[in-house]
Structure 1
């Protein structure tokens, strides 16, 4: 009986070994094809249940991650933020309320339209606003300066309004949000959308689309925006050393913020999310303090410490390895129920940045975050095989000269091979 059992174990091990060898050979044949000759590629695939490494290729090498960085931002926010958004901190004294920004990105945001601050301020005769409690610069290190007028590069601030952009559209006439800036918009034939240093905007006469143009955030603009809402009610105060012990929470669940950031790869939400997370550590806001805190505590076991400089991945200074992404994705998988976790990620062939790629036929099989910046594309997340296994992966591609669409198609053949053969 014992000999028969040994034979059975040996046969099963041999079958598994053959399948594993076939799987690895199939992937190697794909990623060592001539298509990949003149680029840098890394791939790590791990079984979520057993933690066994299914495939590894340059997994400990550093890559430019682009928006894959948002996976680290998501993890940080989930560690530090409560279930509902901390809209702002405040103190009250008689008929006066003093409001301190927490970096909350949803206030009057076109998608979320949080109005918690307006409702609170309405009940007081005087409103003092502290807006200079942010240590971060308005732009992240390594951001491209020429993106100053593009929708994906808004300035960072302690108390954002309207997503820190002017939303301009036209039907019969120009429509501008916030409306108070309507007089700052000129219709003209130009590719430029805003002056470099001030809030003078341009709407191309040939354009009939809705455009979002980043605002230049300064005290003059903040005063103008608040004055339009509550005339002669708002004054500014400087940050003090006395801590704010009261927090006003909006009715917006933080999961809705995470989902939006991940699905459409919203850079503004990502940057402000780290800033907002820092409000749980101190009244002085700093995304750097959050990155340092998370790496020192929750992520002190990373096999390769990343160079992590922003929340969005806009910066080419960011450097991460496939192993680091798989480690963080594994922590998320172990800490959060699968239904909730997968709901936060774009779904292949279904939603967000993956809507046109990685289709699964009758059912989705990819739940992942993409990252794209010139000549670099990566995808990290979860893959469900036909056998029902969950694989955690990070597939990173840097410095290619082909089209990103071609890169995606070649990656898709690897994912389909894993789905069908594991």
Structure 2
């Protein structure tokens, strides 16, 4: 690289150190993790995101960049911009990698640069772009998820309900850490309040968690088994609780050699823990390994934690979210004095084939989620896999398809709706191969052209452009870009969606140039084992766009 570019390169290398922490915490849902050990950071399932104060309908930076930001090289012509991008792509460190790029002007429609823009790439979490955009357009930003409480009759004058109480879920992701306070049962307390308000004091029947609204498997077939024990690979259910994850809290004992104390929160998570840990000498590094064998509910936790170490926490998926949901609900009802004589059970779509819902059901209570516009933010900014899968299935069950095939499950129908939407907005047919909604599947394939076309439509033509823009992570401010681009002209300027799995990084979004021109871009890197190189390459290209002082017309 020429010396005049050294300032930009130095910035990218320095900012990547800060990025590593954010990527480990916010983007971790798409990393592949075998053990939990030092120096792996503590991760919460879905960080609570404070909405940004940036104007929702503009792509211009909210604040004027400081003079120091202009010490980075300004680019005066389109030829110069294209040359600098090509120089980056020709580096020795990228010779075995595949890079797809599409950059276009939202003002003129002109393509600034493209590299293999019609070739297929694994998108990682950039797949979420298609799912959430389609949902905002087809379900509308005001769509809400409804959880219904059904009974065959109202309680009598003494508060006795004769028969089963059925909790019928429709995929509400917000009974969870990410929307409400970080309390393992907080999300359900609102539903309990509504049930108590009906006057029910005794249930002479079972309490049933009905997750039959969604059909298909709880885990997509193309997810890798080693992802499934972690919160980012949690099973999908129409009755979802706390991101379908449980917190493991490991506290050292007061005596060296003694087992550490392990707490499972909430206790109703359906997991059994085998504690093979021990407390080590003070100041020794933590070496904790968590392993759950495929198809079991047994967590084997081994390794050591120093006597003077702070408690360590990690989040794992729970095996049966619907059962956890109704088990916690039953416990809360009983704490409020409600007597339940029957058992707790769960029925899915397969079980309902032989045991259909009664026809004379009454909705005695309901819980309504916040609007999809807010859920989209809680999905996109922290890159939440489960929420995206729930949104995909909600589309499949709430939008009528003319060419519906009887063998399709909820996810199949959702994917068909996304595909139809992409055709409507001009994405090339066949340029998005969708195996899940979130991007955790390594079978997904997309083209940079498809993503850039989507971003152009959502910015210029979508009736939900405001809500779409608000859902994207803001550089240097929030979500998975919170520690990237700080101190540069791209800070608070870039909005977009990141993606990360092994050997894959992606970033698609919007950026304003120094001359005020608005660009949409998609950059995807595959087959690059070094994450530092992937991220620094992407960021360097985006910074070139932000520092472009010319015009494309």
TM-score range, shorter chain: 0.7 to 0.9
Residues 240-291 of structure 1, C-alpha deviations (whole Å, 9 max, x = no match): 4869997945252323321122121111221122123333237x97122111
Is structure 2 residue 317 aligned with structure 1 residue 214? yes
- Aligned partners of 1:180 and 1:225 also within 8 Å: yes
Q: Residue 286 and residue 104 in structure 1: after superposition, are their counterparts in 2 closer, same or farther (change >3 A)?
A: same
Instruction: Give the stretch that moved more between structures: 232-241 or 60-69.
Output: 232-241
Q: Which residue of 2 is the match for residue 303 of structure 1?
A: 428
Q: Residue 245 and residue 417 in structure 1: after superposition, are their counterparts in 2 closer, same or farther (change >3 A)?
A: farther
1:298: how far off?
5.1
1:60: how far off?
0.5
Instruction: Give the stretch that moved more between structures: 347-356 or 96-105.
Output: 96-105
1:111: how far off?
4.4
- Residue 384 of structure 1: which of 499, 512, 517 is its match? 512
Q: Which residue of 2 is the match for residue 87 of structure 1?
A: 146
- Aligned partners of 1:168 and 1:174 also within 8 Å: yes
Residues 3-22 of structure 1, C-alpha deviations (whole Å, 9 max, x = no match): xxxxxxxxxxxxxxx92223
Q: Which residue of 1 is the match for residue 26 of structure 2?
A: none
- Aligned partners of 2:145 and 2:369 also within 8 Å: no
- Aligned partners of 2:271 and 2:318 also within 8 Å: no
- Residue 28 of structure 1: which of 72, 86, 91 is its match? 86
Distance 2:219 2:415 in 1: 16
Q: Residue 66 and residue 135 in structure 1: after superposition, are their counterparts in 2 closer, same or farther (change >3 A)?
A: same
Q: Residue 110 and residue 360 in structure 1: after superposition, are their counterparts in 2 closer, same or farther (change >3 A)?
A: closer
Q: Which residue of 2 is the match for residue 262 of structure 1?
A: 380
- Aligned partners of 2:240 and 2:321 also within 8 Å: no
1:338: how far off?
6.2
Is structure 2 residue 403 aligned with structure 1 residue 323? no
Q: Which residue of 2 is the match for residue 143 of structure 1?
A: 223
**Number of residue pairs aligned between Structure 1 and Structure 2:** 403
Distance 2:130 2:366 in 1: 26
Q: What pairs with 1:15-414 in structure 2 (closer than 5 Å)? A: 19-78=77-136, 79-83=138-142, 85-89=144-148, 91=150, 93-95=152-154, 98-109=166-177, 111-112=179-180, 113-115=186-188, 116-122=190-196, 123=198, 124=200, 126=203, 128-170=208-250, 174-181=262-269, 184-189=272-277, 191-203=289-301, 206=305, 208-217=311-320, 224-230=327-333, 232=340, 239=352, 240=356, 248=366, 250-281=368-399, 286-297=410-421, 299-300=423-424, 301-305=426-430, 306-334=432-460, 335=462, 340-359=467-486, 361=488, 363-401=491-529, 403-414=530-541
Q: Residue 418 and residue 162 in structure 1: after superposition, are their counterparts in 2 closer, same or farther (change >3 A)?
A: closer
1:369: how far off?
0.8
Instruction: Give the stretch that moved more between structures: 340-349 or 225-234.
Output: 225-234
TM-score (norm 1): 0.84
Distance 1:337 1:131 in 2: 30
Distance 2:271 2:130 in 1: 40
Distance 2:271 2:541 in 1: 53
TM-score (norm 2): 0.65
Instruction: Give the stretch that moved more between structures: 229-238 or 360-369.
Output: 229-238
Q: Residue 272 and residue 415 in structure 1: after superposition, are their counterparts in 2 closer, same or farther (change >3 A)?
A: same
Instruction: Give the stretch that moved more between structures: 368-377 or 346-355.
Output: 346-355
Distance 1:349 1:280 in 2: 36
Q: Which runs of 5+ in 2 are unaligned?
A: 1-75, 155-160, 181-185, 253-260, 278-287, 335-339, 401-407
